[in-house]
């Protein structure tokens, strides 16, 4: 065997190793990966703010339209008609139309709580080291109007500023959701905050170049779980 043959075989081995390293991790049953940002027409039992697990298959009837936000990849999909299979980073659509856009979100800050990894599972944030005031925020938001998704029986969520004097905000929850965009309140660009509901709390910061209000849900949502 000549030197060229040895070099070629070594090259092929390296290529195969690279392919295995790049292969996506297998789906975990019940892993929550996306949130429903909009639901219009015939979308079956899928509703606004629903959390969707990887592998879920959704059939859209005539006039059915979904907007899904993928929490870790920051892909946002608008799907009209057909059948969509929810993936880990984006969906697979058959017999329908899909428009994808990459939006600003803090993908990767969320992890699935192993103890809650069935369909009713919850997304949680990596715990910060140290106290809330000194530690880096657990998530960065890209809007001055966060939305809050709460698991549990809390009646309200409280938002406190950590880096400046400001009165706390108390937002009533409806169906476990509160959206600052539906109020007259706006947070400060670059501000650091803590959101709490019962025993759950999350620290977050508003990006200095955040949009004035609204924007894709995956770029402004906070999850609070007991």
Task: Show pLDDT as tens, one digit a residue, over the chain (226 residues).
Answer: 554 554 455 444 444 444 333 334 444 546 789 999 999 988 988 988 888 999 999 999 888 999 999 988 999 999 999 999 999 999 999 999 999 999 988 876 665 444 333 444 455 565 555 555 667 888 999 999 999 988 878 899 999 999 999 999 999 998 889 999 999 999 999 999 999 998 888 999 999 988 777 888 988 999 888 7
What's the sign of the alpha-carbon dihedral 49, 103, 125, 186? negative
Q: Give me the architecture of the 123-224 domain, per CATH.
A: Sandwich (2.60)
Residue 127 has what pLDDT? Answer: 59
Residue 207 has what pLDDT? Answer: 93
Residue 124 has what pLDDT? Answer: 58
Domain ranges for the chain, please list them.
32-102, 123-224
For 45: left if phi > 0, alpha if psi spans -120 to 50, otherwise beta; the answer is alpha
Residue reference for tokens 């329908």: 96
Query: What gap in Å lies between CA 175 and CA 180, rounded to an integer?
Result: 15
Query: What gap in Å lies between CA 170 and CA 152, rounded to an integer?
Result: 17
Residue 199 has what pLDDT? Answer: 85
């Amino acid at each position: 065997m000549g030197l060229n043959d040895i070099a070629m075989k070594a090259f092929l081995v390296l290529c195969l190793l690279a392919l295995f390293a790049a292969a996506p991790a297998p789906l975990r049953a019940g892993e929550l990966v996306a949130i429903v940002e909009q639901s219009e027409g015939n979308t079956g039992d899928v509703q606004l703010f629903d959390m969707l697990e990887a592998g879920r298959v959704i059939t859209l009837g005539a006039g059915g339209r979904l907007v899904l936000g993928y929490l870790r990849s920051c892909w946002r999909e608008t799907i009209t008609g057909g059948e969509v299979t929810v993936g880990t980073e984006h969906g697979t659509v058959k017999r329908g139309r899909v428009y994808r856009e990459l939006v600003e979100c803090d993908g990767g800050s969320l992890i699935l709580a192993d103890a809650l990894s069935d369909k009713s599972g919850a997304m949680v944030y990596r715990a910060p080291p140290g106290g809330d005031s000194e530690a880096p925020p657990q998530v960065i938001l890209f809007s001055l109007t966060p939305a809050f998704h709460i698991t549990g029986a809390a009646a309200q969520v409280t938002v406190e500023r950590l880096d400046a004097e400001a009165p706390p905000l108390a937002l009533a929850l409806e169906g476990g959701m509160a959206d600052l965009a539906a109020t007259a309140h706006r947070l400060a660009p670059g501000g650091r905050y803590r959101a709490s509901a019962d025993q759950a709390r999350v620290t977050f910061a508003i990006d200095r170049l955040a949009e004035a209000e609204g924007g894709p849900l995956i770029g402004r949502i906070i999850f609070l779980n007991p």
